[in-house]
Amino acid sequence: MTHSLRIPDLTIPARPARAAWPAGVGPGDAGDPAVNDVDVIRVLGEARLAGTVHVVGAKNSALKLMAAALLAPGRSVITNVPRITDIAIMGEVLRRLGCVVRFAADDPVDPMVARGGVERSRSVVIDVPEQPGAEADYDLVRRLRASICVLGPLLARRRYVRVAHPGGDAIGSRGLDMHIAGLARMGAEISGEHGFVIAEAPDGLHGADILLDFPSVGATENLVMAAVLARGTTTIDNAAREPEIVDICTMLSRMGARIEGAGTSTLHITGVRELRPVRHATVGDRIVAGTWAFAAAMTRGDVTVTGVDPAYLEVALDKLVSAGGLVETRGGAFRVRMDDRPKAVDVVTLPFPGFATDLLPMAIGLAAVSDGASLITENIFDGRFMFANEMMRLGADIRTDGHHALVCGHERLSGAPVRATDIRAGAGLIIAGLCADGVTEVSHVHHVDRGYPDFVADLRALGVEVERGTAPEEPDLAI
């Protein structure tokens, strides 16, 4: 069955349904259509989302759980892993470190997770050798910033590690200063050459008191993974409190680590001699869930989101209530309904439990169609507003000044071709296109593939006229 938009001159061939992963093959391996930076997604505007959408495991947790598996030789199994390209990249990072990595079906398969026969989550099976490798190559690390999280576990196990400086989304500076300073306090000798971070601890790591200048998620994760095998007790003050931190601490505790204070700003880790492999389920993705919550509000829709604890989105959902929405929560699900045009609300991003920076594009999208003016303040990444120019191409009235954006709402946006600059900006632009007249075409949607499994299928199930295809080739302008 094919799906085409109702505007003939803008119709492109429908993207074929994605096949399930073959045994032992992960997302993004050869032949996977998800890895295509010339794809576009087109949506027909003036849409209203309605229905139920299931959210699978959090990308920001699953990637770090895969790295944590390096801490114990043997077979660890991580379930509820999202079917996205970043998982494939991390799988290849682990393979090059000597692990055997394969993907298998989650059992049992939830019909909401495999709507239409398309698997949205999988289990990743990781067999870790007694002596894993100690170098993470640049060609992979540059594509996935999260791969820097192998630094802590490899240093703890091998006492030597060489990891390329990471890449990832272009949303501002995200240095490694706190990672390096914390590891140095634990006895590591850190140096850098030829684009690599080199860390050595010939006598092993030892416990230390560490105060983070900022509650960095990445630094907290790396330091916790290093500390679980260090001699003595490590205390991390001003630690990140995100649900993903709690998730990794839960997995490490099941592996035999001794961690106190997960979910608070102070962590106490008492090192142990060795850890054991485990089976662990990834926590639901609160950012994907929040994306659907804002999409429901922006389109004056009615959407139920399952698979995520609504407590992880308390501030974001409260903003939607302030905007005039109805929010109902129950167990691992919530419902968002917006009957009228949203009212303008101000948003300030902060570390958890504050408003998540990854939801800022959706907050700007909501402000762009709200009644009134909203002040949006970004406190985490200095480049988050890079996508504002693309949103303005849709008719959004946005004025930025440093960490602030003043957004004056319009009743309706205007469809136009735009370009995704990162994962969340891509999703935000697609959703903004639902609030526009005409067709919105979003290019460079490989960014979206890195964070949203089967985004088009979910949109279609919620009532959106949407299609995905290959962008026309650009003309050769060479003289």
SS3 of residue 57 by DSSP = strand
Q: Distance between CA 93 and CA 141 in Å, rounded?
A: 8
Beta bridge partners of 436: 413
The CA-atom distances, in angstroms, between 118 and each of 29, 185, 281, 349 are 17, 47, 20, 34
Instruction: Report yes or no: 200 and 159 within 8 Å, Cβ to Cβ.
Output: yes
Residue from 91, 89, 88 nearest 66 by CA: 91
Asked whether 257 and 277 are in contact (CB, 8 A), the reply is: no
Helix, strand, coil percentages for the chain (3-state, nearest 5)? 30, 25, 40
Determine which helix (DSSP H) or strand (DSSP E) holds 393, and give its type and residue range: helix 388-393
How many CA atoms lie within 13 Å of 95's alpha carbon, on the beta-carbon side?
A: 16
Tell me phi and psi for residue 445, to 5 degrees: -80, 5
Complete DSSP assignment for 419-466: E--SHHHHHHHHHHHTTEESEEEEE-THHHHTT-TTHHHHHHHTT--E
Give per-residue burial for 6-37: e unless 16+ CB within 10 Å, then b: eeeeebbebbeebeebeeebbbbbeebebbbe
Looking at 19-91, which runs of residues are DSSP E strands?
39-44, 50-54, 74-82
- Phi–psi pair at 436, nearest 5 degrees: -110, 160
- Of 467, 461, 409, 462, the residue nearest 301 (C-alpha): 462
Q: Which residues have a catalytic role annotated? A: 169
16 cis-preceded (ω within 30 degrees of 0): no
